[in-house]
A and B are shown apart, each in its own frame.
Chain A
């Protein structure tokens, strides 16, 4: 029986980890993900899990512990945020290219500087090209549910890629709210056990992990990663379908909210989508054809499906919770525009960077976004700036 509970996103994720009972966790505390290793070490102390918890001296070492453990054929997990993830960057690439299905609970937080502990997506967006699968969560329930699916996606023999489950720092990680916790046995049965084809501790078949690769092999290794990420599309979809059959909650690559007849739409991720849904309800009550797409899976990027879902839209705002300083808009903006190109042209599109360092955008703030989209419909494309910012104080 699922159990109604009232807990924070960090507690929810930690409960998923308790139910999964990973073999190894290597972690170093960093706000706002600190509670996760705290909960895990308590679970270990209370004998609720038999995880080998390795308290390391840095995030670089945390991911190194996971690399070693995963290469030896066991389930390895960690949690981090912000600068902690930045300190892992080198090893994130190693995990992906060595095809080690490590699972990471990411609690999104702005990167320094100026130093800031609140949410934006600059930490995980910095890792968007590291070869990890990235799944984003609107609330504690989704963070929990996504974590229950993470290992089956990562460890699938056609995938074998590390996976990060992201949620917004403080906004969902530290806010308590209603959640359905699933039964331990049911979760264990769904997640299953991990029995990799190859690992370094098998005396019957010696394998090497992470060797030097000369030019003659490097590109083939990269293409294998490319194919694994392609394969992840179907695996994510299959695992999500199975999840729905077992637990009743439906997940796709993205969620469409009021999109059937939407003329004005936004693409947005994580907790901000919840606030924007309330704005859409208000707009719909006033007859505005507003809709929203909440992207769940950022890697692999569901470009073709997204273009299809947006094809009836007249004006679109792509909402980025990190800037990127690319001269061409935020990471989500670039991806979505790339997805539309050649598939669904002619939508008046603007990229909006919002919510940096925890800056709040209210329901009314999103209503204004749609009001501006109404104007954008009749704005000549060449007059639309490629990117604007939302919610900042103006210079005096």
Chain B
């Protein structure tokens, strides 16, 4: 089973990305589970969301305490929330950041697994005109999880976004372009 924990702030789409990653894995025949941690959500407050992907039925119904991957949607949470708590030693961290790779490597120098940086905010602003980093991050995370090919992923996202934005079709193309660019945009900052 692959377990992914998403850390963001209310309004950035971490929950949506967590659920859409499950949709993507589901489309490839996997068992999935995705949910946010519910509390008094409000714009800007730290939130956590979870995605599980498995080859057999998922029975466990708890938050994820020992993730294979941690996705940091908002780097201002570093230091405020213990986001790598329980993260497996051979796991992965994905950070949405504008900082140079060496800085990110320094921030996670104690972590033995793989650390990736992507400027999801920049991709989002260029293609959508605003800072909604979740779709580019979804693309990066999907590639790292490795449950689907790039072509199949783009097809699935096209269908998914058409359904989600049936009343706002003008945002579909921008999201798809952001997803396409993000697929190859993450940089491994440590070796």
B26 touches A178 (CB 8 A): yes
Residues of chain B in range 40-78 having any CB-CB distance to chain A below 8 Å: 57-63, 65
* Closest partner residue, chain B, to A271 (CB atom): B61
Interface centre among A32, A174, A177 (most CB of B within 10 A): A177
Bound CA–CA A6/B18 (angstroms): 13
Contact of A275 (CB < 8 Å), options: B31, B32, B35, B60: B60
A174 touches B33 (CB 8 A): no
B32 touches A274 (CB 8 A): no
Bound CA–CA A264/B57 (angstroms): 25
List the B side residues contacting A271 at CB < 8 Å: 61
B19 touches A176 (CB 8 A): yes
Given A168-B61, A275-B60, A362-B65: A32 in contact with B32 (beta carbons within 8 A) = no
Distance (whole angstroms) from the CB of A26 to the closest CB of chain B: 26
Distance (whole angstroms) from the CB of B51 to the closest CB of chain A: 10
A176 touches B32 (CB 8 A): yes
List the A side residues contacting B23 at CB < 8 Å: 6, 176
Contact of A117 (CB < 8 Å), options: B22, B26, B38, B61: B38
B22 touches A360 (CB 8 A): no
Q: How many residues of A contact B (CB 8 A)?
A: 25
Bound CA–CA A242/B58 (angstroms): 27
A361 touches B62 (CB 8 A): yes
B4 within 8 A of A: no
* Closest partner residue, chain B, to A172 (CB atom): B61
A370 within 8 A of B: no
List the A side residues contacting B58 at CB < 8 Å: 177-178
B34 within 8 A of A: yes
Distance (whole angstroms) from the CB of B35 to the closest CB of chain A: 4
Residues of chain B in range 105-162 having any CB-CB distance to chain A below 8 Å: none
B22 touches A275 (CB 8 A): no
A171 within 8 A of B: yes
List the A side residues contacting B61 at CB < 8 Å: 139, 168, 171-172, 175, 271-272, 274-275
List the A side residues contacting B63 at CB < 8 Å: 360
Distance (whole angstroms) from the CB of A46 to the closest CB of chain B: 12
B22 touches A6 (CB 8 A): yes
Bound CA–CA A361/B60 (angstroms): 10
Contact of B26 (CB < 8 Å), options: A6, A170, A360, A362: A6
List the A side residues contacting B38 at CB < 8 Å: 32, 117-118, 170, 174, 358
B22 touches A176 (CB 8 A): yes
Contact of A177 (CB < 8 Å), options: B32, B39, B62, B65: B32
Distance (whole angstroms) from the CB of A363 to the closest CB of chain B: 6
A335 within 8 A of B: no
A277 touches B34 (CB 8 A): no
* Closest partner residue, chain A, to B31 (CB atom): A178
Distance (whole angstroms) from the CB of B53 to the closest CB of chain A: 11
List the A side residues contacting B19 at CB < 8 Å: 176
Distance (whole angstroms) from the CB of A306 to the closest CB of chain B: 22
Distance (whole angstroms) from the CB of B149 to the closest CB of chain A: 19
List the A side residues contacting B39 at CB < 8 Å: 117
Bound CA–CA A341/B23 (angstroms): 49
Residues of chain A in range 137-193 having any CB-CB distance to chain B below 8 Å: 139, 168, 170-172, 174-178
Bound CA–CA A385/B22 (angstroms): 43
Given A6-B22, A6-B23, A6-B26: A175 in contact with B62 (beta carbons within 8 A) = no
A275 touches B59 (CB 8 A): yes
A258 within 8 A of B: no
List the B side residues contacting A374 at CB < 8 Å: none
Contact of A178 (CB < 8 Å), options: B32, B36, B65: B32
Bound CA–CA A76/B176 (angstroms): 44
Residues of chain B in range 73-116 having any CB-CB distance to chain A below 8 Å: none
Bound CA–CA A172/B35 (angstroms): 9
Given A170-B35, A178-B32: A275 in contact with B62 (beta carbons within 8 A) = yes
List the A side residues contacting B57 at CB < 8 Å: 178
Nearest 5 pairs of A and B residues by beta carbon: A175-B35, A274-B59, A271-B61, A6-B26, A177-B33
Q: Which residues of A contact B (CB under 8 A)?
A: 6, 32, 117-118, 139, 168, 170-172, 174-178, 271-272, 274-275, 277-278, 358, 360-363
Chosen A-B contacts, 20 in total, with CB atoms closer than 8 Å, are A6-B32, A171-B61, A174-B38, A175-B33, A176-B23, A176-B32, A176-B34, A177-B22, A177-B31, A177-B33, A177-B58, A178-B26, A178-B58, A272-B61, A274-B59, A274-B61, A358-B38, A362-B62, A362-B65, A363-B60
Given contacts A171-B35, A176-B19, A358-B38, 18 further A-B contacts (CB under 8 A): A6-B26, A117-B38, A117-B39, A139-B59, A139-B61, A170-B38, A171-B61, A174-B38, A175-B61, A176-B23, A176-B32, A177-B34, A178-B26, A178-B31, A178-B32, A361-B62, A362-B62, A363-B60
